[in-house]
Structure 1
Amino acid sequence: MALTSRLARRADLPELLPLIDAAIGELQKGFLDEAQIASSRSIMGIDTQLVDDGTYFVVESAGSLAGCGGWSRRATLYGGDHSQGRDPALLDPARDPAKVRGMYTHPSFVRRGVGRLILARCEKAAAAEGFRMLELMSTLAGRPLYEAAGFVPVEQVEDPAGGVPVRLVRMRKPIAAPAS
């Protein structure tokens, strides 16, 4: 199965939204109960600012969407367009970590390298802009992928925004400067 990746476009949104919905609904089973999965929909989703900033990727396989995700040079750590507490302030690469955001894999493509491909694209792009650290807020379902990719937990939190608290893990990873 060959995977390809490219920058997302606004025109991709009608296809990305069902992929994200399927990922939230299916991939958290075994980590969250049904009430927590329903609650997590209020704190998860696509942030179109990433698409507009040119930092959001789409992964495809044989013409099918396999996943999406990106990174941000803005202060918001997680959440979608509908989430509270978003902060569009630009980060300082000399002191702030770039944020890995909105990572979703279609359930049909789990454990096939989709997440790793997106993380590699994020790391390379953030390093090219001078960032030396990546940070993300992981779901419990995503934590094994991020740990395998070198992220370490720095804080566990609960987000009650959807009415039922959802456990999340803030994680970080140092990244190297691009080779000259």
Structure 2
Amino acid sequence: MRIREARIGELPLLQEIERAAGHRFREVGMELIADDEPLSVEELTPFVTAGLAWVSVDDAADGDAAEHGADRPVAYLIAARIDGALHVEQVSVHPSYARRGVGRALLEHLAGVAAAEGVGALTLTTFTEVPWNAPYYARCGFRPVPEADLGPGLREVRAHEAALGLDRWPRLAMRRAL
């Protein structure tokens, strides 16, 4: 797998990746999350233009890449600058590429970008009880951030998530010091 910056023309494919990855939430009774539409192309575009969107592409001549050609995204990560950290807005891996370290590689890529910029941490918000969410991120070095310690930007993110109804399931913010 190779990681590179995402391209505007690939945004519909990133939406497809997120839709496919979202189906896994059915396994844990979260149909509303599974059926949730990804960000629109218009909402994704600023991440690309800001240089805060990356894709993992499969250059191998097997599976989906062989069918669709090399350099086709199979996973993506978008980030934002929040409270002095790089915040993972979304990371999605197509199910046919799951359990291969692709998501972790994208997180490590973001950590490298942050370190190169002198940014001291990565943050994200996630579901606490979904195995491929908070428990996974803990294995990747993220630690829970108590509500009282949230900066204004993360408070705003959490309030927005609550307004969307995501707090129907337990959620938390997590931070990884670099």
What interval of TM-score do these two structures reach, taking the shorter chain for normalisation?
A: 0.7 to 0.9
Paired position in structure 1 for 2:24: 27
CA distance in 2, matches of 1:51, 1:135: 19
1:65 is matched by which residue type in structure 2? P
- Residue 47 and residue 162 in structure 1: after superposition, are their counterparts in 2 closer, same or farther (change >3 A)? farther
Q: Matches of 1:162 and 1:128 in 2, distance apart?
A: 36
* Aligned counterparts of 1:5 and 1:146: Cα–Cα separation in 2: 19
What is the CA–CA distance in structure 1 between the aligned matches of 2:115 and 2:167, rounded to whole Å?
37
Give per-residue Cα distances to partners, 1:31-58, cap 9 Å, x unaligned: 34323433xx26x536332111112111
Q: In the aligned structure 2, how far is the partner of 1:53 from the partner of 1:27?
A: 30
Q: 1:163 to 1:131 in 2, by over 3 A?
A: closer
Q: Aligned partners of 2:32 and 2:113: how far apart in 1? A: 36
> % of aligned pairs identical?
29
- Identify which range, 153-162 or 12-21, moves more after superposition: 153-162
2:137 paired residue number? 146
Q: Does 1:70 align with 2:58?
A: no
TM-superposition CA deviations, 1:84-106 (whole Å, max 9, x none): xxxxxxx5xxxx22212210000
Q: Map Cα deviations across residues 46-89 of structure 1 (whole Å, 9 max, x no partner).
A: 6332111112111111324320003222x3xxxxxxxxxxxxxx
Q: Is the 8 A contact 1:36 1:166 kept in 2?
A: no
Where is the helix percentage greater, Structure 1 or Structure 2? 2
Q: Which runs of 4+ in 1 moved over 6 A?
A: none
Alignment of 1:72-151 (within 5 A): 72-73=80-81, 75=82, 96-139=84-127, 140=130, 141-151=132-142
SS in 1 for 2:106: helix
- Greater shift after overlay, 140-149 or 101-110? 140-149
Query: Which has the bigger relative contact order, CA under 8 A and spacing at least 6?
Result: 1
Q: Secondary structure at the match of 1:101?
A: strand
- Give, in angstroms, the shift of residue 145 of structure 1: 2.4
Greater Cα shift, 142-151 or 45-54: 45-54
Superposition TM-score, scaled by structure 1 size:
0.71
Unpaired runs of 5+ residues, structure 2, are 61-69, 148-157
Deviations 1:103-136 (A, max 9, x none): 0000111110111110011001011111111110
Q: How many equivalent residue pairs?
A: 149
